[in-house]
Chains A and B, each alone.
Chain A
């Protein structure tokens, strides 16, 4: 059986990183538009 654990770990790390990065990006954009909602400054 081949020993290719590093590729397997790398794939899981990369996939998880992409999902987490997107969730964070979405949250940042959400907070930015929420701050611009009419009546927010009053």
Chain B
């Protein structure tokens, strides 16, 4: 698999976002350096939601049109989404320890995000366990749609429940609650990690196409 211009652009964007976050963004007065974890944590959460949203959309379209291509996109997006959710679930607790005094709390947002991760890990495990192609695609599509229903609850959990997790900074009805320099870094990180998601999704989709071409007898068996 040779690096495409998209992959190179995504890598450059992520490096630029890292450099800006680490060296050119001021420290937050109360939280100190730990606040900079936000620049990798929040974009990873955004990308994970987008990835699972795409799983739901392509899964619904698969159930309607029965196009293998849609099943492959759903499968690829779910796997990349799990990677980004893993980043969310590891960087969040690393921020929580110095700020909350604990790595983990069974807060609504944290718990629901962990459930989301479990659902899509189960989705990938199930894909590997069902041999029949049509049955696997159908079951996965249903699970992919149901899993994504958690996303609005996760986003609204900080309003619906009493939780320790900070409220949204960007995706909310009012203006972003952040100084300009920090906001620019955060927006750059959102763009960079979105680009990284698209590059990884494309690479994972190409892998799925090649895999299915390599195994015509047991077509589409998850590897």
Hey, which bits of chain A sit against chain B, CB under 8 A? Answer: 1-5, 7-8, 10-12, 14-15, 18-19, 22-23, 26-27, 29-34, 36-38
On chain A, the residues within 8 Å of B214 by CB distance are 33-34, 36-38
Complex contact B29–A33 (CB within 8 A) = no
Complex contact B22–A12 (CB within 8 A) = yes
Complex contact B98–A2 (CB within 8 A) = yes
Quick one: which of B72-94 are within 8 Å of A by CB? 80, 83, 86-87, 90-91, 94
On chain B, the residues within 8 Å of A2 by CB distance are 31-32, 34, 98
Complex contact A34–B33 (CB within 8 A) = no
Hey, which bits of chain B sit against chain A, CB under 8 A? Answer: 1, 18, 22, 27, 29-34, 36-37, 40-41, 44, 80, 83, 86-87, 90-91, 94-95, 97-98, 196, 200, 203-204, 206-207, 210-211, 213-216, 223
On chain B, the residues within 8 Å of A29 by CB distance are 207, 211, 223
On chain B, the residues within 8 Å of A26 by CB distance are 1, 200, 203-204, 207
User: Within the complex, which residue of B22, B44, B97, B210 is in contact with A15, where a contact is CB–CB below 8 Å?
Assistant: B44
Q: What are 26 contact pairs spanning A and B, CB under 8 A?
A: A1-B27, A1-B29, A1-B32, A2-B31, A2-B34, A3-B32, A4-B32, A4-B34, A7-B33, A7-B95, A7-B97, A8-B36, A11-B37, A11-B90, A12-B22, A15-B40, A15-B44, A15-B87, A18-B90, A19-B83, A30-B206, A32-B223, A33-B214, A37-B210, A38-B213, A38-B214
